[in-house]
Amino acid sequence: MKILIDSREQLPFAFSGKSFEDVTTEAGSLPTGDYSLAGLVDLVAVERKSLDDLAQCLGRERDRFERELVRARGLDAFAVVVEGSFEDLAHGRYRSKLNPHSACQSVLSFSARLGIPFLFAENRAGAEYATAGFLRQYLKGCRERLKVIEKAEKEGSQVA
C-alpha cells in the first residue's frame, strides 16, 4: 500500500515498524487532506490534526476548515484523525481560549451534518495507526468491489 503524504504536512507520519510493513510512502500535493492512497487521491483522504490544531480549526479558522470538510464530502471516504482524546477536547486541554463545550459541539455538528467521522486516537502513535488502518480498509473494500465486478464480467461473457 502506497500512502501519499501532502508535501505541506509539517510533521508527517513515518509509517515504520511492524504494523506498517506493507506501507510505502511518497510526498506529493494532495487536493484534500494530508494522507491518501496512490492513484486514489480523488476518492479517499485523511486529515490529521493535533488537538491544538483542531481547536484552532474549530475556532478562528472555522470557515476555512468547514470549506475543507464540505469539499471532502465529495470523496468516497474521508476522516479527520485527531492526536488526542475527546475527553482532552472536552476538558480544554489545548492552547486556545475556545470554550471546550463549543469545541465538542462543533465536532459533533460536523459529524452529523456532513457525515465526516472524527477519529480521536489518543496520541500520535494511535493517530498514525488509525490513518494507515483507515486507508488500508478503504483499499481492501476497493479490491473486494473489483473482484465482484470481474466475476460479474466473467459470468456475463459466458452467457453471451
Query: What are the angstrom distances between the C-alpha of 143 and each of 4, 140, 150?
Result: 19, 5, 10
Would you place residue 155 in the very low, low, confident or very high pLDDT band (cuts 50, 70, 90)? confident
Q: Which residue has the cell 463545550?
A: 101
Would you place residue 156 in the very low, low, confident or very high pLDDT band (cuts 50, 70, 90)? confident
Average pLDDT of the segment spanning 6-14: 95
Domain residue limits, the chain: 2-159
pLDDT of residue 160: 54
Query: What are the angstrom distances between the C-alpha of 71 and each of 29, 43, 45, 64?
Result: 16, 12, 11, 11
Would you place residue 159 in the very low, low, confident or very high pLDDT band (cuts 50, 70, 90)? low
Q: What is the CATH architecture assignment of 2-159? A: 3-Layer(aba) Sandwich (3.40)
Which pTM value belongs to this model? 0.92
